[in-house]
Amino acid sequence: MKKAFILSALAALSLNVHATDLSKTYLEIGYSKSDFKEEKYFDKTDYDLVGHQLSLSYEFENGIYAGLHTKRHRETFLVDLFDQDVELDENLVELGYVAHKAQSGRFSIGAFIGALDLSVEDNSNDADLYRVYTEYDHCFNQYFSAFAKLGYESVDGEGASSENGLWTEVGIRAHWGSSSLSWEFSQGEVVEQVAFVYRYSF
């Protein structure tokens, strides 16, 4: 009887750890890379922009969460026979809702709104970015979790036709206490991105 009680207590504690790990209240900082998908922007085999990203998110008790996400990717390339600095800045606001909580996972719906700014030397092109998505976070145990997002993306650039279509993001995290490290990959209509991210959950 005593052994069964201890096992039940450990199981309950394990579930609480999982719920904490999947919280949307966190601070993230990471290293990431952007790859352009089409040659009308750059030849994706030759041009990789690298840099850092920063995210801050908060989840309210009712399951609504909001976040701010920025990425700063830069590199110097040979463009038209000259070395030129290429920069990609991404600034997004996120709003979402945890619609369902299961024993080992959570389903969410959300949206991003913001802007992309691509600069080559003194020439800059801005685009409005919109995404809506569904997400599933899953805990394998107290040390590992994974997530997948599937949604729709619209990129409306100045003086150019909009790019609309599927957007996906997947990742896997290794947890220890309130900290975690993750590998993440996302693919949209314009850019593919890979990131290695440290997260601290509050």
Q: What is the pLDDT of residues 82-108, one digit of tens each?
A: 788 889 999 999 999 999 998 899 999
For 188, the token pair is: 């949209």
- DSSP output for 119-182: EETTEEEEEEEEEEEEEEEEESSSSEEEEEEEEEEEEEETTS--EEEEEEEEEEEEEETTEEEE
pTM of the model: 0.83
Residue for token pair 């801005």: 126
For 157, the token pair is: 């650039």
> How many whole angstroms separate alpha carbon 116 and alpha carbon 126?
6
The full length of the chain comes to 202
DSSP character for 97?
E
**pLDDT tens profile 96-145:** 999 999 889 999 999 999 999 988 877 888 899 999 999 999 999 999 99
CA–CA–CA angle 63, 169, 109 (5° rounding):
25
The lowest-confidence range among 46-55, 171-180, 187-196 is: 46-55
Q: How confident is the model at residue 157 (pLDDT cuts 50, 70, 90)?
A: confident
> How many whole angstroms separate alpha carbon 43 and alpha carbon 77?
11
> How many whole angstroms separate alpha carbon 190 and alpha carbon 180?
29
> How many whole angstroms separate alpha carbon 191 and alpha carbon 49?
11
Who has greater pLDDT, 17 or 83?
Answer: 83
| pLDDT at residue 5, as a whole number | 45
